[in-house]
Amino acid sequence: MNNRIWLSVCLLLLAACSDGPDRTSAPAQQGFAGLGLAADAFATVERGGELAFPQDHAAHPEFRIEWWYVTANLEDREGRQYGMQWTLFRQALTPDGGLGHWQDGQVWMAHVGLTAAAEHWHAERFGRSGGGQAGVTTEPDYRVWLDDWSLQSVTAPGSPERGDPLEHIRVQAGTDNLAFDLVLQTDQPLVLHGEDGFSLKSERGQASWYYSQPFYQVNGTLVLGDGAERNVHGTGWLDREWSSQPLAPEQTGWDWFSLQLPDNERLMLFRLREQDNPDSYFAGTHIRSDGSTRPLAPQEIRMQPLETTRVAGRQVPTVWHLEVPVINLDIEARPLNPNAWMDTSIPYWEGPIEFSGSHSGHGYLEMTGY
Amino acid sequence: MRPLVQTLRALLAHWRRHPVQLAAWVVGLMLATALWSGVQALNTQARESYDRAAGLFAGAAQPMLVAREGETLTDDVFATLRQAGWPVSPLLEGRVRVGEQALTLVGIDPVTLPAEAAAASAVDQTGFELAAFLTRPGLTLAGPDTLQQLGVEPGAELRLASGALLPPLAVASTVPPGTLLVDVGLAQQLLQRPSELSRLLVADDPRWQTQALPEDLAERLYWQHGQSEDDLTRLTDSFHLNLTALGLLAFVVGLFIVNGATGLAFEQRSSLLRTLRACGVSGRQVVLALLFEVLLLALVAGLLGLLLGYGLAALLLPDVAASLQGLYGARVAGALQLEPRWWLAGLGMSLCGALLAAVGSLWQAARLPVLGLARREAWRAHQQRGVMLLALLGGGLWLLALGLFMAGSGLVVAFAGLAALLLGAALCLPGLLSVAVGIGQRLARGPVAEWFWAEARQQVSALSLALMALLLALAANIGVGSMVDSFRLTFTGWLDQRLAAEVYMNAEDAEQAEQMVEWLVGQPEIEAILPTGHLISRYADEPLELNGIRVHDTYRDHWPVQQQLADGWDRVGTGQAAMISEQMARRFDLAPGDSLTLGLAATPWLLQVAGIYADYGNPRAQMVVDLDALMARAEGPLRQGFSLRLHPDAAPQLVERARRDLGLEGTAVIDQASVRNFSEQVFERTFVATGALNTLTLGVAGVALLTSLLTLTQSRLPQLAPLWAQGLSRRHLAWLEWLRTLCLAGFTILLAVPLGLLLAWCLVAIINVEAFGWRLPLYLFPEQWLRLIGLAALTTVLATAWPLWRLGRQSPATWSKVFAHEQ
């Protein structure tokens, strides 16, 4: 919508923290998109804390950054594959939020993307929660929105019992060249990553609160660039994460995988990179079909780029060799569309993948900092 | 290349020997450029200010949603529309005072602001500081001129009259003058209007303008296309066109000087040119060298002219800004800021003008016969024959002017007609002078007198350009002067009628209006309270001022009605008729008894025209209707006010008390004398720039005459020397020369009077009607003509005295040399 403005919003990360102790650090030392900036007066993610639901589905304005991230692997009636992404980012400009109606210091950014084998569409919007343009409500219904792009819980009429608000949600977005309206449903529990949701991102202690709902069944419609409406179904994955300094200052980007393994198992893997050390830090979670988890230690994960694709003037690794020996996983992952570039104000690669080898199935890949 | 350089050097040597001629050339073009570019600088500055005002929230087409009467626009409406997918952005606007200055405080949301809005770039200019803009303490963005006006530096924190402290100031050049830009949330606090918004800007995307509003909001909101600022450009066009016309006139007069000097220089160098050709320089090279010469001189003169023009504009800007503010409420930055484009355009104009003025000489040079006889007066004799042709051309232009006035419409056409009229008159001048000289010649007795007139005939063409300049300048002075004085006389009389009430009060909002009523009923000296309501609406896609009143004898007795139906005011009182301004009547061709329909709300309002009144000085169409009927139909809130009748002596005390008791400031309460005073000031200021340009034009004409004569005296010597040889003294000859010039100039001045009157009539009856929509009665001011004639005569006497005094003082040796030189 107004990229120039958002660019400033992103740069504001520098300005907002410029009077913090990290002021002297060179611009390169702020991690990807400023996520490596020191937490300053913001709340910090402490080991040993405990997540509580549904309260933690709401926003955490005392933390600098937070996101709601939904991805889905979809298929239409003709068997064509699609990927869908719906993301809402919250960014606190100042730790002393709540100074006024408009001036709560919260700026929001939403991204949506649709990927087909030969095409990729994306859009971006910005807003402030101050005027009611964006935000999260938990009552009467759980709802996360920016303008008319929304994620809200669906309560079946006549059902007095309410489960977790995220068990049954509807995700919607529309722009000039893409639109979708999907219902995501599951009866599986939420999955906490790391130690009860405390997800470490570096040896130096940078961390975030991180939980997922990786078991969604998805049904709904897509409208692609050609204007035709398609009925689709598939599987979906929701990530919730917040922190005040999720990255170490020297970490420049990450490669993140969400994989749907056979037998209703799930696997989440990520690698954090530094300028001269692509293997700065690894983490992951093996999720069994009953929702129980086994956190993966850095040395238990191997991620190796096999091929790169030139996208938007950069070399991006799009074919990967992934190994997790403790669960006997050895696979090769390929993108549905290697050009799934999100050319947003903070650009990154995000799209659906397929994998084969010891296991086979679908998943999603996100790569930042290339 | 070498021959070209040599030729150029030979040509330029001429100017070294004739520095006065060179000075004439340069001064002429310099003045022309200065006046033209000065006027353009003023126009550019003003337009740039309007653009900033209109463009702050996108261009003229920026659509907006505003609350209907009785409704308030709040943040909820914004949130609801955003969540329905509407690309709206909130805006809150209010007036604040900082010390003595009244400023507009505008609250915006930079995150949703449509990208096409200039405010977006204003925020962009501060770059990184967006976070600072959105969070405490925040930022106040203002134009550099506003900071200058307030006398503060960036970073300063202003305190409002309300006591609230503004966040630190930062400079953003796209913010219009007199405007402070802050975050919308902060504006709500500073203006003490929590959760309130003035309007919602809608991204300029046609898809949304055809979209129906959500049902519950459709009753609360309505579309507003374009703010009144957007009309500023159109409204002020006539003002700027007037200035441009004067600037162009001055430019043309200046070009006459250049043309005269170039022609003379060519003629004096014709033998040199022939010599050059005989030496083997090709005709093309000669023309090229001449062209180089012209461009070189034009560059120097143009640059000097631009500097002078800049100074002139800086000098006149405060008055122009005051006029525009008074007339149209347009805020114009008080400090001159010009872009490189202005300098380039000015220089281009200067170069083109110089080429235009020199094209005749270049043409002659190109066709110069190598072996032709060195007849010094060859081109002049040719021109003599051309007098007839010029007169014919002039007559043609007059016919064109007549045609334009009769058939055309629109201000540009009217000005074109005026230009044709003036230029036609100027072209006819040599012919008329020849006729006059011919009469003199016929009446002449004796050889000296016969020689006197024969020489006069020959001088007609030599001086014709300078005399044309004098004619134009003087006629313009008489015309514009008569128009301004007629206007002043009419305007003063009209003010007396229109300002019938003794005291006027204006309320900021409905709440203040209620306070006023409460207070007013407790004031025993008030004889009548006449409530008024004011609203800017649109009629036929043009802005319309709607004034609601309750009919009272004050209106019957005083309102400057020009024509009306029987019981006109009683009809207005029924709510089914309206008095309309002369501007409106003319613009939409309405007469008493006609009907018109206002599309105020969903239901159209059918009104009969009950009468037409004069509304001088108002660029907008205006209408007077019944207040209650207007209130019932208005979509937005009315700006309420009260006209108070009381004994005039009691007015100042009442104003004083109202200011104290109600805490009113500025024009919120004002007595009749102050309004009158203010209006008259605006009037005077409006014509300060016009007057100054006018006087300067006359000055330029004086310079034209001076330079023509200065260069002419040189060439006159060969004509005079034989008479000297026959026994006439040098002094006698100089006197005769002077007398002859004065005769020609005097005749020109006499012709300028009827031409000036014709011009005044055109201005009053055609230009004014086209430009402002009102017609003035034309008054005649003979003493003004006499003053101008005196001034012109004095200019002429001074301009002619020195060169001819020099002629008389030249040594006999110089005179006798004439015979030694080959003629």
pLDDT in tens, B522-531: 888 898 999 9
Which residues, in sequence order, are CB contacts of B777 under 8 Å at separation 6+? Answer: B486, B490, B764
Predicted pLDDT at B383: 55
Quote the ipTM score: 0.86
Predicted pLDDT at B233: 60
pTM: 0.60
Model confidence pLDDT, tens digit, residues B335-359: 677 778 888 888 888 888 888 878 8
Mean pLDDT estimate for chain B: 80
Are A127 and B111 within 8 A, CB to CB? Answer: yes
Q: Of A330-344, B76-90, B376-390, B706-720, where does mean pLDDT reach its minimum?
A: B376-390
Distance (Å) from the alpha carbon of B228 to chain A's nearest alpha carbon: 27
| Residue found under tokens 């409460």 | B518
d(CA B704, CA B260): 8
Distance (Å) from the alpha carbon of B106 to chain A's nearest alpha carbon: 15
Residue B761: burial class (beta carbons within 10 Å; 0-12, 13-18, 19+) = middle
Span B277-294, average pLDDT? 84
Span B96-124, average pLDDT? 74
Q: Which of A127, A130, A147 sits opposite B85 (nearest CB)?
A: A147
Spell out which chain B residues touch chain A, with contact meaning CB-CB distance below 8 angstroms.
Answer: 75-76, 78-79, 82-85, 87, 90, 109-115, 120, 123-124, 127-132, 134-136, 138, 183-186, 188-189, 194-195
Element (H, E) at B186: helix B184-190
Q: Reduced to 3 DSSP states, what percent helix, strand and coil does chain B have, rounded to the nearest 5?
A: 65, 15, 20
Q: Which of A6, A94, A107, A133 to mutate to test the interface with B (most CBs of B within 10 A)?
A: A133
Which of A5-14, A53-62, A100-109 holds the top average pLDDT?
A53-62
d(CA B608, CA B602): 19
| Residue found under tokens 């006024």 | A100
Structure tokens, A313 = 């003037």
Are A5 and B113 within 8 A, CB to CB? Answer: yes
Predicted pLDDT at A211: 96
Predicted pLDDT at B247: 75
Predicted pLDDT at B569: 92
Model confidence pLDDT, tens digit, residues B737-791: 888 888 888 888 889 889 989 988 888 888 777 776 777 778 888 888 888 888 7
Q: Which of B76, B80, B130, B191 to mutate to test the interface with A (most CBs of A within 10 A)?
A: B130
Distance (Å) from the alpha carbon of B67 to chain A's nearest alpha carbon: 18
Predicted pLDDT at B331: 65
| Residue found under tokens 């050709």 | B277
d(CA B229, CA B46): 13
Span B498-510, average pLDDT? 82
**Residue A100 contacts B where some CB pair is shorter than 8 Å:** yes
Question: Where does B444-567 have alpha helices with state H?
Answer: 447-498, 510-521, 553-558
Distance (Å) from the alpha carbon of B164 to chain A's nearest alpha carbon: 16
List Cα–Cα distances, B486 to B244, B356, B505, B768, B771, in angstroms: 22, 37, 31, 12, 16
| Residue found under tokens 């020849």 | B434
Closest CA to A106 of B196, B135, B194: B135
Greatest pairwise CA separation for chain A in angstroms:
59
List Cα–Cα distances, B803 to B734, B797, B810, in angstroms: 9, 11, 11
Q: Of A270-274, B235-239, B625-629, where does mean pLDDT reach its minimum?
A: B235-239
Distance (Å) from the alpha carbon of B119 to chain A's nearest alpha carbon: 11
Are A102 and B109 within 8 A, CB to CB? Answer: yes
What are the phi and psi torsion angles at B145 (to 5°)? -70, -35
Predicted pLDDT at A1: 30
Span B693-721, average pLDDT? 71
Are B136 and A1 within 8 A, CB to CB? Answer: no
d(CA B280, CA B61): 65
More confident residue, B83 or A176: B83
List Cα–Cα distances, B50 to B171, B307, B330, in angstroms: 18, 25, 7
Q: Which domains does chain A carry?
A: 3-368 (2.40.370.10)
Span B173-198, average pLDDT? 87
Are B84 and A148 within 8 A, CB to CB? Answer: yes
Predicted pLDDT at A308: 94
d(CA A42, CA A39): 5
For every residue of B85-131, which 3-state class applies, written as one string?
CCCEEEEEEEEEEECCEEEEEEEECCCCCCCCCHHHHHHHHCHHHHH
User: Which residues in chain B are contacts of A9 at CB distance < 8 A?
Assistant: 111, 130-131
Residues in chain A: 370
Residues in chain B: 823
More confident residue, B622 or B700: B622
More confident residue, B706 or B372: B706
Question: With contact defined as beta carbons under 8 Å apart, do B222 and B230 qualify?
Answer: no
Question: With contact defined as beta carbons under 8 Å apart, do B778 and B482 qualify?
Answer: yes
Span B481-496, average pLDDT? 79
Give domain limits for chain B.
1-60+247-374, 62-225, 377-496+679-823, 503-646
Predicted pLDDT at A117: 93
Beta bridge partners of A332: A321, A356
Which residues, in sequence order, are CB contacts of B60 under 8 Å at separation 6+? Answer: B54, B226, B230, B233
Q: Which of B78, B80, B121, B134 to mutate to test the interface with A (most CBs of A within 10 A)?
A: B134
Q: Which long-range contacts (CB under 8 A, 24 or more apart) does B420-423 make?
A: B421/B397, B421/B758, B421/B759, B421/B762, B422/B249, B422/B472, B422/B475, B422/B476, B422/B755, B422/B759, B423/B252, B423/B394, B423/B397
User: How far from each other are the two terminal CA atoms of chain B, in whole angstroms?
Assistant: 33
Instruction: Inform me whether the pLDDT recorded for B271 exceeds 80.
Output: no
Predicted pLDDT at A247: 80
Distance (Å) from the alpha carbon of B296 to chain A's nearest alpha carbon: 46
